[in-house]
Structure 1
């Protein structure tokens, strides 16, 4: 049986890769993918704790289903915003979209 530290280390690595991508990338599609990677790392943690933890139950799987549904809605809204930005500015570079700047 695999120990819980393996899953926690895997989730931490995935979360750090996603965080690095969000903070350093300029392409909006890559930023959305990195946010999804961070959400999936949290899902791995929840499933690992609910399956292997001291009080094993179904709560982690239920929360993971909520995370997946929220992530799907986030991608739909994010892609709609991305398409609107591309139609207005003809670019999806993060640096060029400074609409809230004075």
Structure 2
């Protein structure tokens, strides 16, 4: 089996696992973990493609750093939102903020 294909299969598995976690989880933290798994799969795919093809490896590493920075910024914002939602509604479930107060 081609090494690039092996890495791409692992990246697709991470993507599918993250998508399943995003859809199946009811809490905002579980959804955040799913998104982080999907971003890790994307970073793995970028680095593997850059290292195992004639493309310059530095570009792949820069792309992976961009994905990691995006993941860190996204995690910071989502954790701040979870903190506000849990303080206001007392629960961090994803359907809690959508309920209107009478």
Alignment of 1:1-102 (within 5 A): 3-98=3-98
Distance 2:56 2:99 in 1: 48
Give the TM-score normalised by the residue count of structure 2: 0.90
Distance 2:4 2:22 in 1: 27
Runs of 4+ aligned residues of structure 1 deviating over 6 Å after TM superposition are none
Structure 2: gaps of 5 or more residues: none
**Cα RMSD (Å):** 1.5
- Counting matched residue pairs gives 99
Give the TM-score normalised by the residue count of structure 1: 0.90
Distance 1:73 1:99 in 2: 27
How many angstroms does 1:99 deviate by?
A: 5.7
Residues 47-86 of structure 1: per-residue CA shift (max 9 Å, x gap): 0000001324311110110110111111111100100000
45-54 or 55-64, which moves further after superposition? Answer: 55-64
How many angstroms does 1:96 deviate by?
A: 1.8
Whether contact under 8 Å (2:47, 2:57) holds in the other structure is no
